[in-house]
Every structure is written in C-alpha cells, then in structure tokens.
Structure 1
Amino acid sequence: MIYDEAWRVMRHVALLERMQSQWKLSRGLGIANMMVIHRLSDLLTAGDADSRSRALAEGLLPDCSTRIVYRQEPDQLATAASLLGLTGVEAQAVGALAKGRGLWKVAGRSFITQHLLHPAERELFDTDARMHA
C-alpha cells in the first residue's frame, strides 16, 4: 500500500484507523506499507494534541521498520529529530543533504544513500515537469 501525499489521508480518522490496521497486520495480509509525507510535522496536523487522529498518526512511526528521510528545512529539523529519534549527527546530516541523498534508518542502523534514477524513471516521475513547460 502506498500512501502518497499522506497528509491528505490523515485528515480522516477512519483512514488513519485503516492505516494503523494495515501497518499492524501487514505480514498476515501479505502487504508492505509506504507513507510519503513532505515534513514529519505533517503528522502533527492530523488533529489536536490529545485527539485520536493525532495519536493514530504519530503511532504509525514506531511501526515502521525502515524510515527514509530526505533533506528537511531548518525549521523542521527539531520536529523530525524528535519524532524519528534522530541523533544530533543524523539531524545535522538531514539538514544538509543534497538532492537525491537520504538518511535511511533500517532496524536501528543509519545510512546516507544516493537515490539513482534510470532515465525512464526520471521521465515518469519528474514532478518538476510543469515548471519546465
């Protein structure tokens, strides 16, 4: 299951409940889950601080065994570090990553990776295409 632009889904408690169920039961269902958000602070917009929506949204992170973080703006670093449990070195790295580089946290280990696109992929997934037209 791929939830692209997941900040939109997180507006609805029923969809967050479905996501939680899919995360918790993924092995039994034979699925993998992916949530794509622009900023970790998007999780904090799912509802008020003490709301069920917020608890569900924030609860998805501990159930993710692989976390991929691309460069975050300076005003987002503290929230990202807090929600992901980043070390100071990791947070500093996330704030300075070049385009296409990401911090991968896999089973407690961290790696800086370079995302490489095949030319055919670049054509399919160029989200800047409208700016060039």
Structure 2
Amino acid sequence: MTQTIFVLNGPNLNMLGKREPGIYGGKTLKDIEADCKVAGRELGFDIDFRQSNHEGTLVDWFHEADEKAVGVAFNAGAYTHTSVALHDAIRAISIPVVELHISNVHAREEFRHKSMIAPACKGVICGFGPHSYILALHALKNITA
C-alpha cells in the first residue's frame, strides 16, 4: 500500500507565479503540485497537496494528516513567523513535519529569520526555489523509511 504525504501550503502561496517572481520564481502552485506528484510517485508516496489562507484550516489539516499520512511537508508562508497555533498543531501530532520555504528566509528581512514552527518540525529546508518541495519529500522518505 502506498503511503501518503500531505503537502500543506499557507497564506498567499496561491499567488505564486504572480507574486514577487524575483523572489519566488515563475512557477505557480499548480506547477509545484504537479512536480510534487511526480516526485511522490518516484518515492512511493501519494501526495495530498493543499493550500489555505486560513490558519484554523491548516491546524485541522495537521490533525487529519496524523490519521491519514506518514508525514507532512509544510510551507507555512508568513505564518512561519507568527503562528503559535501551528507550532502547537505540529507538536500535537505523531508524524514528522518538514518545514520548507522557496526563498532563503535567512537572507531576507530580519522578521523572517525567526520561525515559530521550526522547533516543532523534524527539519527545515529553504532557499532552493520550488525544488525545496522535492527536497522535503526526499527528507520525508528518508525519515519515514
């Protein structure tokens, strides 16, 4: 039976392809989803790919992932720097979560240097453009094997 990985995306990531292409590149979230599904198949995963601009929805999806998935790749967007609720949701589940970012958040504005969710995650990947998603899937394959 194929294992499932949830790939969760936070606020404004639905705007990829339009939003600051100099930072985030030209790929849309749909493009990234397609890439993740291909990589997931190669790694033996089913990918459940979702995006929400609403914190509570993301919390609910973590709870659901704990019942249905073996891991989560998570781009929290701006919630990375502000959300105790997402930190607590990650702590509340038993499966590994890999935080990911398209840009190198440490090379950007000072307020982006602090992640509220990183201490609850298994690891963090950032700065590799949309390929950060694929790297997160590989990390999850390694830690769920």
Higher relative contact order (CA 8 A, sep 6+): 2
Is TM-score (shorter-chain normalized) higher than 0.5?
A: no
Length-normalised TM-score, structure 2: 0.30
TM-score if structure 1 supplies the norm length? 0.32
Bigger radius of gyration among the two: 1
